[in-house]
Amino acid sequence: MVCGFAAAEHCCRPAGSDVVDRLMVAGVCFGCPVAISIMYTLFGLVQINNRVSSWDLEALPSDWREQRRQWDRLHRFRVILLGAALISLVTSTVLEHSGQAVLPLGLTPRPSHTLAKDCE
């Protein structure tokens, strides 16, 4: 969704800013999953890690297996988020070097000569 907003902003930029637009969209599409992953780690995984660090190894809580499974589920989701961020970064880099626009949802950059007319 954020990528869509960044792409929509692209239409009324001055001529010559296509590179900036593409980098902005790529940065948003890469940065959002990373930011979500960091927040997810701090409020999910770290909380479980703090609980586990206070356990006595001789007397584990009765639900330690469930807590381990919960940590594994949360970790898998975090890895998927980071994988999506990496795929977004690699895709944007490849498309940038091939000369294609990095815009989601099938959007393509508009010719720069029409930008000034549309923004008036």
Give 7-38 pLDDT, tens digit per residue.
Answer: 444 444 454 556 666 677 777 788 888 999 99
The structural domains of the chain, with segments of one domain joined by +, span 2-119
Return the beta strands (E) in the chain as ranges: none
Instruction: Give 120's DSSP letter.
Output: -
Give the separation between CA 31 and CA 83, rounded to whole angstroms: 12
3-state DSSP helix/strand/coil percent for the chain, to nearest 5?
75, 0, 25
Both tokens assigned to 83: 């994988």
Instruction: Give 110's DSSP letter.
Output: P
Both tokens assigned to 87: 């795929």
Residue type for 38, please? I
Per run of 10 residues, the mean pLDDT along the chain (length 120 residues) is 45 53 75 90 94 92 95 95 89 71 52 50
